[in-house]
Amino acid sequence: MHLDRLELVDFRSYARAELALGPGVRVLVGANAQGKTNLLEAIHYLSVGASHRVALDAPLVRAGREAAVIRAGARVDAGTRALSVELELRASGRNRARVNGQPQPRVGDAIGRIRSVLFAPEDLTLVRGDPSDRRRFLDDLLGQRRPAYLVARQEYERVLRQRNALLRQVRAGQRGDTLDEWTAALVRSGAALLAARIAVAHALSGPADAAYRELVASAPGGKASGGVRLTYELSTGRGVTAEPGFGVPDVGGLAAELQAGVAAVAPAERERGLTLVGPHRDDLILHVGELPAKGFASQGESWSLALALRLASREVLREVGEDPIVLLDDVFAELDDGRRARLADRCEEFEQVLVTAAVDADVPLEGPRHAVLGGAVTSEPVARESLSRGDDHTMPT
């Protein structure tokens, strides 16, 4: 799919913005803190129902306003059909959504119609951050691929909170008559999450390896022979190495493993008042060659690996449904010339890719440019020469 129109009202720094878009490459050029990322953030919000930068909606609404509006017009089914999604984010109170002009009873029904994959500087945490960053990566991808996954995850989190509350009461000397029931619920809902996460890790492994090799291929001193390997590490200590083409894991077997895992840590759980086994304590271990990426990968390798994971997400998403829009926030400046060129080659195959950059010359891609300055963006593309001259593109008010 591709967007042909994006309109923002009172979103972040934008009082009003309108962009005429089209298939292929678009580059949003502007100095730092002018509002480039906000444009990508708005598109990605429509895909996942959350910002990649803040947990709450309130900061997304322009200061002093009650609501922000994101309106996107897209072409789907190989450009033959129009799709429009409108989302109203309220600083307080319930958000509202329309799809093709029709109000949606639940905002969730509008989320995910616009599919996108975002790569942002924050993604370095996929490699260097905590296990929770990598679990969220898998969960967000699963949520976009199968919205029902989010329902299953909410159920698991609810059960987990109940079980933890009961374990705290047991630690404090109260009776835990219903611990068996909560353990059974944890095992049942936990095994469903595990099966989905392991399946998506399998699906990611091939594309992530291919994308990484492609990016670093002939980089000077690059470990061309060392590919990327993903291992889903369960809280029981077992690691499942992801292999391309692997089918759906056996839910019954995973449930039995969780049940045995919980039994093994029962005394420790009662002592600490905390559930110690389950998908909330798992990790996705990333290897480059023989070494774990966390702690061993250089800045450049980490950057390329995080980017490869996002590019692999695109492959996983496009297995079912529309081709996602690729959003690259400030990525070219971080890459050397070789990697820039190879990423640019890759961009040529995407139906639509929106790229932000502080310096136009950093992006070795042909394609229309929009200028972003002081919370405004030119609705139509501008001439590239004017960007390097630093012309003032402030929108007429």
The helix or strand, by DSSP H or E, that contains position 28, with its residue range, turns out to be strand 24-29
Contacts of 295 (CB under 8 A, 6+ apart): none
Shortest Cβ 50–other proteins spacing (Å)? 19
Pairwise CA distance, residues 314 & 324, whole Å: 6
Pairwise CA distance, residues 209 & 219, whole Å: 16
Q: Which is nearer to other proteins, 178 or 394 (CB)?
A: 178
Beta bridge partners of 285: 231
Q: Long-range contacts of range 13-18, CB-CB < 8 Å, 24 or more positions apart?
A: 13/38, 13/62, 13/375, 14/38, 14/62, 14/375, 14/376, 14/377, 15/62, 15/375, 17/376, 17/377, 17/379, 18/379
Shortest Cβ 155–other proteins spacing (Å)? 6
Shortest Cβ 171–other proteins spacing (Å)? 12
Within 10 angstroms of residue 121's Cβ, the number of other Cβ atoms is 14
Shortest Cβ 187–other proteins spacing (Å)? 12
Which residue from 175, 168, 177, 183 is spatially nearest to 272, judged by alpha carbons? Answer: 168
Q: Say if residue 38 is exposed, middle or buried (CB neighbours under 10 Å; 0-12, 13-18, 19+).
A: buried
Provide the binding-site residues for other proteins, judged by CB under 8 A: 146, 148-149, 151-152, 155, 158-159, 161-163, 165-166, 169, 174-175, 177-178, 180-182, 184-185, 192
**Residues 118, 44 contacting (CB under 8 angstroms):** yes
Shortest Cβ 151–other proteins spacing (Å)? 5
Shortest Cβ 228–other proteins spacing (Å)? 30
Q: Which is nearer to other proteins, 182 or 212 (CB)?
A: 182
Shortest Cβ 158–other proteins spacing (Å)? 5
Shortest Cβ 95–other proteins spacing (Å)? 16
Shortest Cβ 2–other proteins spacing (Å)? 26
**CA angle (92 as vertex; 88, 94 as ends), nearest 5:** 55
Q: Which is nearer to other proteins, 48 or 159 (CB)?
A: 159
Largest CA distance in the chain: 75
DSSP for 91-144 reads SSS--EEEETTEEPSSGGGTTTSS-EEEE-GGGGHHHHS-HHHHHHHHHHHHHH
* DSSP, res 61: B
Q: Which is nearer to other proteins, 73 or 108 (CB)?
A: 108
